[in-house]
Chains A and B, each alone.
Chain A
Amino acid sequence: DQQVKQNSPSLSVQEGRISILNCDYTNSMFDYFLWYKKYPAEGPTFLISISSIKDKNEDGRFTVFLNKSAKHLSLHIVPSQPGDSAVYFCAASAAGAGSYQLTFGKGTKLSVIP
């Protein structure tokens, strides 16, 4: 049973436009959420995180939004650049409950078209 779901396996966006990647979760104990970016043959690279006490966190071109009532989070990339083309993973942990393992979604492959 997948507790973190990324329902779009792939997404194509024009360079300069906004990329929106979505993630849903089912476990109400999750209170810390992270986005990772992964290039082929490399490990996941941390992008941005958000704790459940916030609904938005911004870092440069990357913004993560959290909707706790809907158990939904999204990553916005503005403006999108060709170098952003990669697989993006959503991950969650129940840190407040003492569980620090990350539960990952299956990933969304983003292609930014020049």
Chain B
Amino acid sequence: EAGVTQFPSHSVIEKGQTVTLRCDPISGHDNLYWYRRVMGKEIKFLLHFVKESKQDESGMPNNRFLAERTGGTYSTLKVQPAELEDSGVYFCASSLTSSYNEQFFGPGTRLTVL
């Protein structure tokens, strides 16, 4: 069974540009989560989808970040326009159910904004 996959693995962009990250969850997992780890800090929650609906987006830092999950399968996270402080590793995770269930993480996308 394939795990959570993320694309690209690395992205280097200049301040002001747009970047779109993609996550493919484990097949059959209705729950999809985005997290971010900024250098030297802990992994922080961004948002949670149940199928195509946003269940919790309390961690989204500002309106430069837009997450979508059309059709309830893969998800995209767009940053527009990117700022220097957006640099970090963006992780996607998925789980079968929401409650009392482990989340399986992808390898992450390392974003560098210059």
Interface residues of A (CB under 8 A from B): 2, 4, 32, 34, 36, 41-46, 49, 51, 89, 91, 95-96, 99-107
Contacts and interface: CB of A to CB of B under 8 A. Distances in A.
Contacts of B95: 100
Nearest to B104: A46
A44 B43 contact: yes
Contact of B56 (A2, A44, A99, A103): A99
B100 A32 contact: yes
B103 to A, nearest CB: 6
Contact of A43 (B42, B59, B100, B105): B105
A107 B58 CA distance: 23
B102 A49 contact: yes
A91 B95 CA distance: 15
Contacts of B42: 2, 4, 104-107
B100 A41 contact: no
Nearest to A89: B43
Q: Which of B35, B43, B108 has the most CB of A within 10 A?
A: B43
Contacts of B108: 42-43
Given A34-B102, A43-B105, A100 B59 contact: no
Interface residues of B, number: 27
Contact of A42 (B55, B99, B100, B107): B107
B44 interface: yes
A104 B43 contact: yes
A4 B41 CA distance: 12
Interface string B29-53: 0010101000001111100100000
A44 B31 CA distance: 17
Q: Which of A34, A36, A43, A102 has the most CB of B within 10 A?
A: A43
A36 B98 contact: no
Given A43-B91, A43-B106, A45-B105, A102 B45 contact: yes
Contact of B91 (A32, A44, A51): A44
Given A49-B100, A95-B98, A96-B99, 15 more contacts: A34-B102, A42-B108, A43-B4, A43-B93, A43-B107, A91-B43, A99-B56, A100-B55, A101-B33, A102-B33, A102-B35, A102-B45, A104-B42, A104-B43, A106-B42
